[in-house]
Amino acid sequence: MIPVLLRTLSAGAVLLAGLLTVLPPERAAAQDAGTLQISWEVRNRFRLFREERDFLLHVENARNRNILAAEQSLELQSEGRGWARNMVNRLCIDLQGRVNQPCNRDNTKENYLTPIDHPVTVRLAGAVPVGATCAWSFDDGDGPQQSTFDCAEPVNLRVRYGKQTVATVDVSSGSDPTQRVQTEIQVRDIFIAGLGDSIASGEGNPDRPLALSDEGFCFRSYLGTAAGGQYYRPSRHGYKGGRACEAPDTLANWQRYSALWFNSPCHRSLYSYQTRTALALAVRYTHIAVTYLPLACTGASIGDGLLGSQRARECPPGKTGVCNTSVNAQVAELREALTAAKKRQPDRTLDLVLLSVGANDVYFSGLVADVIVDTATERALFRRSGVMASVDDSRDALARELPQNFVKLREALKPLVGGDLSHVVYVSYANPALADGGVPCRGGRGGFDIHPSFNADPQRLARVSTFVDTEFLPQLKGLATCTRGALCRDPEADRMTFVDAHQAAFADHGFCAHSGTDPEFDRSCFAENGQSFNPDIVSAASQPMLCGRGASEYRAYLPRARWIRDANDSYFAAMTYPQGLPAASQPTDIHDATWGVLSAVYGGAVHPSAEGHAAMADAALPAASAVLGLDAVPPGVTRGLLPQLLPSAQQ
């Protein structure tokens, strides 16, 4: 039997439901001619969201906009505080990465990975006679469920997973002959997994960014990098412990005021291009539901992260005080989830994998450190500890290790996608150091003066930028598409679907990009000459910003010309205290000099902003739609569809 909920909606709900019914041109034309049709759509069809209001917010902001424009609209609506800050607590996956089984979605308990039914809204569309009565019947093969309504009222019901429901309505209006309209309802539930590294996870974009204090907080410096071996930067709002270097406090007290991530050990964020792509599919196609399993993790390489376990980024404050510094292998997690799903639903398949990986295999974070760490003491220490890498180091790994790792990754993924790797959509990286149509950033301390030792060296920066453009990105494309001599046993079956259309847009939006429309705080307080912070440790304790404004005015989620977080952004948005480092590299306390460096980069420096991730999702969406065949409509069948999302805007 069909679980049916037939009820009259309130006037406000009817109005909202009407706003959500947007028909493609061919259906609109039919209605103009007076044809009656049954229209239906899946409700709250991004199944990660427990509450429909969160999904509807994205639907409304997606109207006649691409994902980037929708993100910018949401940023302005939230006044830069971000749309995810409250949604992150209303998900079917908790902040430790555990799937809630069951998940209570809109007051109905559902199995997240294997739904047994889906909520659907059905209405009569077209030239509906005023005051007409609709006798509805819904039959999924176990006998019809029937009820009668005014034809202006939509009908809510739940239709069974994997079964076709025949919807029939008899329309009666006065003395006119009764008209019968019929359609078939079958929801396609699409299972999507997200795999990869920090670019895939959304690093740099905490779901609830840090609340900053206008007062200063002391960090120690390595000898010779700052006057007196100390410097002050903005503190965390609410922290009442020792702010001076001579007044240490417990890490537990400090961590109470951390930024909040969808998943702290992996710095997984709802702003990631993977989440935005999966969400955009659910927004765009009204006859599907999307079950999304995000597994990407900052710091992941193919060997340590996808195929093997890896170190966690940080540990959220917990009641036990135990820090689990290890994260399970992503492929193993996905295999386990898929196996469990198939036990309940043997026909359940993994429809799509979104993937970005390879940067950590060639030590990209080491290249970033080599570019921005400028003072001799820090360079010597970091080189000795293996934190820094040269272009030659990366080139060697690109030639030797990465191709072999890709072979292993293909073999691990193929069984999960039915042997066809075209269902793996590999989204490439963008060069983070370009602006003005592809001109490399000139370097300097602007955007990196959060730490006294930072200075983006122009020569090292140019060398890395050229390596990325001419060697790293082309080689990645070859590995994903079985070209350029890549090791592929069966090029047809081993070729991934490759996405790099966003790279052209990023050529105007690197970390050094500026605009007169950037947030006022950025323009006033982040000096392009690299002199943003008060060097006097006495006055900086109460006012660390030279602009005289409070750091609390910074907003991580406002439109900016730069789509790449610089070190200042990373500190102001996340200020991450590392807990997953090897013991020898762990800071000794919350004022430690090691953490002073890591606090400025560990939470997402040189990673895409929410706008950057939205631009990546705009590039990934058409590829994902094509792989899933969502635009291929069988003859005589009309698909549910929201208005065409606009092409990516290069703004």
What pLDDT does 632 receive?
Answer: 77
Burial of 448 (0-12, 13-18, 19+ CB in 10 A): buried
* Percent of the chain residues topping a pLDDT of 70: 90
Q: 3-class DSSP state for residue 546?
A: coil
Kindly tell me if the per-residue pLDDT of 18 is higher than 90. no
100 band by pLDDT with thresholds 50, 70 and 90: very high
Q: Are 588 and 250 in contact (CB under 8 A)?
A: no
Which H helix or E strand runs over 476?
helix 473-481
* Percent of the chain residues topping a pLDDT of 90: 78
Q: Which two tokens stand for residue 206?
A: 């905490």
User: Quick one: three-class SS letters along 264-306?
Assistant: HHHCECCCCHHHHHHHHHHHHCCCEEEEEEECCCCCCECCCEC
| Selection from 71, 44, 41 nearest residue 56 by Cα | 44
Burial of 509 (0-12, 13-18, 19+ CB in 10 A): buried
Residue for token pair 């122009």? 458
22 band by pLDDT with thresholds 50, 70 and 90: very low
What pLDDT does 291 receive?
Answer: 98
Summarised one tens digit per residue, pLDDT across range 177-216 is 999 999 999 999 999 999 999 999 999 999 999 999 999 9
What pLDDT does 318 receive?
Answer: 60
Lowest mean per-residue pLDDT among 40-49, 160-169, 376-385: 376-385
Summarised one tens digit per residue, pLDDT across range 436-491 is 999 999 999 999 999 999 999 999 999 999 999 999 999 999 999 999 888 898 88
Q: 3-class DSSP state for residue 497?
A: strand
| Selection from 463, 417, 416 nearest residue 628 by Cα | 417
Of residues 375 and 565, the one with the higher pLDDT is 565
DSSP state of 92: S
- 317 cis-preceded (ω within 30 degrees of 0): no
644 band by pLDDT with thresholds 50, 70 and 90: very low
| Residue 380, amino acid | A
What pLDDT does 633 receive?
Answer: 58
For residue 133, give Cα distances in angstroms to 119, 139, 153, 176, 180: 23, 20, 10, 12, 12
Q: Are 289 and 115 in contact (CB under 8 A)?
A: yes
Summarised one tens digit per residue, pLDDT across range 250-295 is 888 999 999 999 999 999 999 999 999 999 999 999 999 999 999 9
Lowest mean per-residue pLDDT among 32-36, 86-90, 359-363: 32-36
Kindly tell me if the per-residue pLDDT of 10 is higher than 60. no
What pLDDT does 62 receive?
Answer: 97
State pTM to two decimals: 0.92
Kindly tell me if the per-residue pLDDT of 638 is higher than 90. no
Q: Which residues of 15-36 are buried (b: 16+ CB within 10 A; e: fewer)?
A: eebeebbbbeeebeebbeeeeb
588 band by pLDDT with thresholds 50, 70 and 90: confident
Q: Are 458 and 531 in contact (CB under 8 A)?
A: no
Of residues 595 and 26, the one with the higher pLDDT is 595
| Selection from 283, 262, 313, 215 nearest residue 551 by Cα | 215
Mean pLDDT confidence for 594-618: 94
Kindly tell me if the per-residue pLDDT of 33 is higher than 50. no
Instruction: Give the largest Cα separation in the chain, rounded.
Output: 94
Summarised one tens digit per residue, pLDDT across range 357-390 is 999 999 999 999 999 999 888 888 888 888 899 9
DSSP 95-124: TTSPBPSSEEETTEEE-SSS-SEEEEEEEE
What pLDDT does 322 receive?
Answer: 63
Summarised one tens digit per residue, pLDDT across range 128-152 is 999 999 999 999 999 999 999 999 9
2 band by pLDDT with thresholds 50, 70 and 90: low
What pLDDT does 601 receive?
Answer: 87
Burial of 5 (0-12, 13-18, 19+ CB in 10 A): exposed
What pLDDT does 382 receive?
Answer: 84
Mean pLDDT confidence for 614-627: 98
Mean pLDDT confidence for 215-225: 83
Kindly tell me if the per-residue pLDDT of 30 is higher than 70. no
What pLDDT does 465 receive?
Answer: 96
What pLDDT does 584 receive?
Answer: 75
User: Quick one: three-class SS letters along 412-453?
Assistant: HHHHHHCCCHHHEEEECCCCCCEECCCEECCCECCCCCCCCC
Mean pLDDT confidence for 72-95: 97
